[in-house]
Amino acid sequence: MPVNLPTNLLRSFVAIVDTGSMLNASEQVFVTQSALSLQIKRLEELVQQTLFLREGRRLSLTPAGDLLLDYARRVLVLHDEAVAAVSAGQFAGPARVGMVQDFADTLLTGLLASFAELHPDAQIFARVAGTAELQTLLERRQLDILLGFSSGNDPNAIAVAPMQWYGNADLLTRNVVPLAVLEKPCRFREAAIRSLEDEGRPYRITVETPNLSTLRAAVKAGLGVTCRTHLFINDSLPELTASLPPLPKVACIIQTSDGLDAVTKRLADLARETISQL
């Protein structure tokens, strides 16, 4: 009798290789590390070969593992093509979407509601983080779609807008500008600090937070001025039009992983349409 290799075992095997660790792979295939270890043990039993060698904290492929990897990739490609063809556009999921907080606060409800209306069986995994972190997850194949920020001259920009200052104008009468910022890394934080330093304008960070809602509340309370873009402000903060140095433009970008299924590609298209209309 031929040996049957379950595709979930092969997918976990490939995920470990692509992400470089059990921890990262477990997040990609949505199983615990202990369950992932059992899957690899089962796969090794089926092929009667050791697939990984552990060198300290690092996993490396054995010759048998290296040989299996190429076949596993080809099997999974054919498997996913077959599912997509037979399901005729029905959602298999989950669609893994990563976005910066600005997008989440403004677009999440409307965008995903529209998607769910088109695909009521949809399963969505949403991650909110900074653009740099999301790009790492996309490279590790832990995300399908990324919505983030980039420089204003990015050729992949969907929308480009100027950065602007927001806050209480009375704060500008102080000798040292009180600044409210998000934690590093943050493109708006970097732009605000660089523009003030280039002009030789004294400043101090009075509020630093990882949370955009907290930042907005702090600015509304008059604790500091901040730098954002009007695309996601919705008139919730007063704009400062004078007395502060000019700021660069910022681009809204969408990046996707290779080989999206038809339905996840539709979600990416919906996101692109929504952002281009901002």
Tell me: the pLDDT tens digits for 111-142?
A: 777 777 777 767 778 888 888 888 888 888 88
pLDDT of residue 84: 65
- Which of 24-28, 79-83, 173-177, 261-265 shows the lowest mean pLDDT across its residues? 79-83
pLDDT > 70: percent of the chain: 92
Distance separating alpha carbons of residues 169 and 225, to the nearest angstrom: 9
- What secondary structure, in 3-state letters, does the chain show? CCCCCCHHHHHHHHHHHHHCCHHHHHHHHCCCHHHHHHHHHHHHHHHCCCCEEEECCEEEECHHHHHHHHHHHHHHHHHHHHHHHHHCCCCCCCEEEEECHHHHHHHHHHHHHHHHHHCCCCCEEEEECCHHHHHHHHHCCCCCEEEEEEECCCCCEEEEEEEEEECCHHHHHCCCEEEEEECCCCHHHHHHHHHHHHHCCCEEEEEEECCHHHHHHHHHCCCCEEEEEHHHCCCCCCEECCCCCCCCEEEEEEEECCCCCHHHHHHHHHHHHHHHCC
pLDDT at 277 exceeding the cut of 60: yes
- Which of 78-87, 144-153, 184-193 shows the lowest mean pLDDT across its residues? 78-87
pLDDT of residue 219: 92
pTM: 0.63
* More confident of the two residues 119 and 266: 266
pLDDT at 28 exceeding the cut of 90: no
pLDDT at 92 exceeding the cut of 80: no
Tell me: the pLDDT tens digits for 93-117?
A: 578 888 888 887 777 667 777 777 7
pLDDT at 78 exceeding the cut of 70: yes
Distance separating alpha carbons of residues 226 and 162, to the nearest angstrom: 14
Supply 182's token pair: 């998000």
pLDDT at 89 exceeding the cut of 60: no
User: Confidence class of residue 260 from pLDDT cuts 50, 70 and 90?
Assistant: confident
What value does the mean pLDDT take over residues 255-263? 82
- Which of 24-33, 60-69, 80-89, 160-169 shows the lowest mean pLDDT across its residues? 80-89
pLDDT of residue 83: 66
User: What's the sign of the alpha-carbon dihedral 102, 103, 105, 107?
Assistant: positive
Tell me: the pLDDT tens digits for 171-226?
A: 988 999 999 999 888 999 999 999 999 999 999 999 999 888 888 889 989 999 99
Alpha-carbon dihedral angle through residues 49, 51, 54, 60, given to the nearest 10 degrees: 140
pLDDT of residue 59: 84
Residue-range domains of the chain with CATH: 7-87 (1.10.10.10), 91-278 (3.40.190.290)
For all residues of the chain together, what is the average pLDDT? 84
